[in-house]
Structure 1
Amino acid sequence: MYDAATVLLREYYRVTGWNEQQSYTQLMRAASVLVDFEVPNGVLLSSASTQVPSLLSSARLLLVPLSGALGYTHVATPAPFDTRCIQHAEKRLSFASPFLTPDHPPGLLPYRDASAHGLWDALRRRAPPRDVLMYGCFHVPTTYVEGVVAMRLAPHWQLLMTALSNAPSYPLLPLARRLGLVAPGVPSLPKLVAPGATNLQLTLQMQTERTMAEYSYSVDDALWGMHVLRTLSAPTMLQPGVLSAGGEVFVSFAEMSAGFSLGMRYAQPPIVDAQGRRVSYPAVSSVTLNPMMGHVRYAYTAQAEEDLTLCARYDLNVYSYLSDLTLGAEYCLGPPTDDDARPAELPTASLREQRGVWKPKRAPGAELSLREDTLGWPAVRPAEVPPAPAPRPPDAEAPGGASVDGVRPDAVTPAAVPGAEDEPRLAAAPAEVRAASELPATPTVPPAPPAAPGPPYGLLKMRASASGLFALLWEGRWNQCLVSAGVQTQVSMHPTLSATSTLGCEIVYTEE
């Protein structure tokens, strides 16, 4: 399942109209969500709540080994922000279907400061109340602090900052040495302890209708990078698919290294005919190439049925000829229906039938059934059930100008006269047949359209690779909790190595 920070960041992108799937780093997002899912390790408990509309808190507790995390999130957007998204199953569960149509996002929303047409104009002018999301989390007992800040600078520019800081084991020791409280020449054991470190990464993103560029810098290893992804073909009636291509370049001055990669993605959206019936399901095909490392990766993800998604990913190194094939599947579990709760075999007779309150209608000429013979019900013969009289127009008059309630005296049927049940039924006159045929037909009510499927109740994921990695994961709702349970096994082909397994469960409490 996604954590609270990921769900809030995706909701922030949706509210502000930012398409995160147009980024080059999200080129194989559909395949990675379906194949590279994480199985919980141990027993993990988490919860999230909303104190005020703009402040949310989340907590996580891992029982084995014992550790925890406490985080807070602040959101400020002009559009209404759904703070209860962290409690929705369709957003917390890791479904792969939302990433099968990456080129059909909601349009960019209008920015507050319409006079600012670019980044420099927005920075020169007085800063308006900007769209911002700030998240911070503290981990214990590891004393790690992580933070995420997303800020909208201009209609097509956004700043994303991520940081991870590890406090030193003895934070006051350098200050004590500077103040002279500890002699500089005195040896101390804390020298063997690694000092604290902070990794800060800044990413400046620019997004237009067909292009997205990202410029990033990492403080830890002085890594500069640039990512570009552009849509090459727009969807048409004859060719609804969308083709996108891009690449990345990165340079590290600390390690004196550089590299680049190329990628391409073809997305096939779902096709619907004029009657609203789905003709084909969505599919995404992606390929990436790293020439310096010689690594080639190809992934194909498609929705086979309404509730079944399949994926195949192939990795190859052209220098060492090492390869790996990974297969994955995702099956969506819907909520229980009335047919599932109904027993397979119904009783032969209901309580009303046994008490004689209600008798079933039988077809003409049918014989007594065993149940009717046992209960003593009389057989219903067709001669004992006279047909209903033909309807008459309200203005029909009897011969001689007299009428009886709008019906002629000679048209009165024996069934309407008391004591005439045993007399044979008279044939209807041709005039009655013509009068009945001239009556307006009863308007037919069109059948109601089928009900739209409700939100998914859960999902079941499976992964198998040629390297011997097998994993199974189930995510779903149980009462007021979201539960994720899975198992992962690594089978080694080497005779000296044994298989390793991981079993875990994660429970997220949601408030109604």
Structure 2
Amino acid sequence: MLEFMDYVQHAFYNASHWNYENSYSQLTATARGLLDFETPRGLRLNVSSLSSPNFATSYNLGSIGVVDGSLSYLYTSLPIHATSQSGQIDLHEVIRGYRQIQELRKPEESWMWEEWQAGKRIDKRDTLFYGRLYLPQSTLEALYLRRISPTQQFKLSAVSDSRLRNGATILALHQYDTGKYSAETLYSTDGGLIGLRGLYNFGPDPRKEITELPRVEDRLYGRFSAGAEMYYGSLNKSGGVSFGGRFATLPAHKGVPLTATLTLNPLMGNMSTTYAVRAGKNAALCSKFDFNVYSYESDLMLGCELWRMKTKVPKKIERSMQAKLEWILDPVVEPTVPEPEEVAGVLKARVDQNWKIGLLWEGRIKELMFTLGSSFDMKRREQPFRAIGLELQYSS
């Protein structure tokens, strides 16, 4: 489950019309959400607040052997009007699982961001500041995020810790997204790392108007995306490269939603394939297979998620006596409308070829959102339990 500050950061992306999903780093997001979830350890409590549309705070307290915690503060120049009460947040927004990719949208024109007054431009670019202090380690984490234009974004993150080489590390990331394709350039002070990655989406270009709509029988309700990344460490004189592809169905697809990916790392000889399918309205299945062409070693992992839904209680609407009489005397029979549903919780499970099992239950009790998880190693019969934990989140 996303922490509150991550939830607010995603709300900033939505408010500033930035497509967070259109990136090479998000190519395998569906498989990671279904298989690579973290099981909590010990007891942890997170209390947060969006005190104003521009300012948020969060306090975290945990107990894993010793008591630890963190203090977080976030400021954004762009007002955030997302739901902040933990009892009302849509769990689909904070629980990462099967992701249905959406149709590509056309980016806004540059002139749409211009504001003029008395012949002078007065518009400013949206900015987000975030800081987090971990205790008792005294580790400091900071983030600076700025929208440069409708197609560009700059992100600067830093970590200060005495255990790091030189005591700190800084990562600078420039993102460029036109919808049809995206590119990212990054630099890290840790090893002098320089990187470049990009993603290209095959099919219609959202920047161009479609003059003739294809026939239904000729249209493919899915999208194939391909990308690559290259990086080089100037200090340790080493580099790497990887390639990846993904096919995923779109919301207009009438059949079973699915997502399939293939990633290759030729220098290390690694190949990874994932296949995820929405098996039902509230269920998803996923498999992942890794293979190394040099050592012939392979790994297999299977996972699933089951969403529990409940009928959404409608808000009570007060009607006047005249409206009640008109409704009773109305002879027209209204058609049956299905009752709306909301998420009550989700159960996740995974198992690999070594019989290491992970279980996770995420949901909400009254005003508290919770994450309860445990991991097992079935080959260690004398002590199969590896970890168990509970995380609670409350926000206002």
Q: 1:255 aligns with which of 222, 226, 236?
A: 236
The residue number in structure 2 matching 1:61 is 61
User: Aligned residues, how many?
Assistant: 363
Offset of 1:500 from its aligned partner? Answer: 5.2
SS in 2 for 1:9: helix
The residue number in structure 2 matching 1:151 is 146
- Pairs within 5 Å for 1:301-312: 301-312=276-287
In structure 2, relative to structure 1, the CA distance for the partners of 1:233 and 1:475 (3 Å cut) is same
Offset of 1:245 from its aligned partner? Answer: 0.5
TM-score (normalizing by structure 1): 0.66
In structure 2, relative to structure 1, the CA distance for the partners of 1:84 and 1:155 (3 Å cut) is same
Measure the CA separation in 2 of the matches of 1:62 and 1:455.
30
The residue number in structure 2 matching 1:43 is 43
Offset of 1:446 from its aligned partner? Answer: 4.9
Offset of 1:161 from its aligned partner? Answer: 1.1
Asked whether the equivalents of residues 307 and 333 of structure 1 are also in contact (C-alpha less than 8 Å), the reply is yes
In structure 2, relative to structure 1, the CA distance for the partners of 1:252 and 1:90 (3 Å cut) is same
What is the CA deviation profile of residues 290-332 of structure 1, one whole-angstrom value per residue up to 9, with x for unaligned ones?
0000010111111111100111111111111111111111111
SS in 1 for 2:343: coil
Q: 1:334 aligned to 2:329?
A: no
The residue number in structure 1 matching 2:176 is 206
Measure the CA separation in 1 of the matches of 2:312 and 2:90.
18
Measure the CA separation in 2 of the matches of 1:195 and 1:239.
50
In structure 2, relative to structure 1, the CA distance for the partners of 1:259 and 1:167 (3 Å cut) is closer
Q: Which has the higher helix share?
A: 1
TM-score (normalizing by structure 2): 0.84
The residue number in structure 2 matching 1:5 is 5
- Pairs within 5 Å for 1:293-332: 293-332=268-307
In structure 2, relative to structure 1, the CA distance for the partners of 1:19 and 1:234 (3 Å cut) is same
Q: 2:188 aligns with which of 218, 226, 234?
A: 218
The residue number in structure 1 matching 2:256 is 281
Offset of 1:108 from its aligned partner? Answer: 3.6
RMSD over aligned CA atoms reads 2.8
Measure the CA separation in 1 of the matches of 2:141 and 2:56.
16
- Pairs within 5 Å for 1:118-267: 128-167=123-162, 197-234=167-204, 237=216, 238-267=219-248
Measure the CA separation in 1 of the matches of 2:311 and 2:149.
46
Measure the CA separation in 1 of the matches of 2:114 and 2:92.
35
List runs of 5+ in structure 2 lacking aligned partners: 206-213, 314-329
In structure 2, relative to structure 1, the CA distance for the partners of 1:42 and 1:107 (3 Å cut) is farther
Measure the CA separation in 1 of the matches of 2:202 and 2:387.
43
AA of the residue aligned to 2:392: I
Q: 1:33 aligned to 2:8?
A: no
- List structure 1 runs of 4+ shifted beyond 3 angstroms: 105-116, 125-128, 234-237, 497-500
What is the CA deviation profile of residues 362-382 of structure 1, one whole-angstrom value per residue up to 9, with x for unaligned ones?
xxxxxxxxxxxxxxxxxxxxx
Measure the CA separation in 1 of the matches of 2:300 and 2:142.
36
Measure the CA separation in 2 of the matches of 1:249 and 1:329.
32
Q: 1:490 aligned to 2:374?
A: no
What is the CA deviation profile of residues 229-248 of structure 1, one whole-angstrom value per residue up to 9, with x for unaligned ones?
00112496421110111100
User: Higher relative CO (CA 8 A, sep ≥ 6), structure 1 or 2?
Assistant: 2
Asked whether the equivalents of residues 202 and 218 of structure 1 are also in contact (C-alpha less than 8 Å), the reply is yes
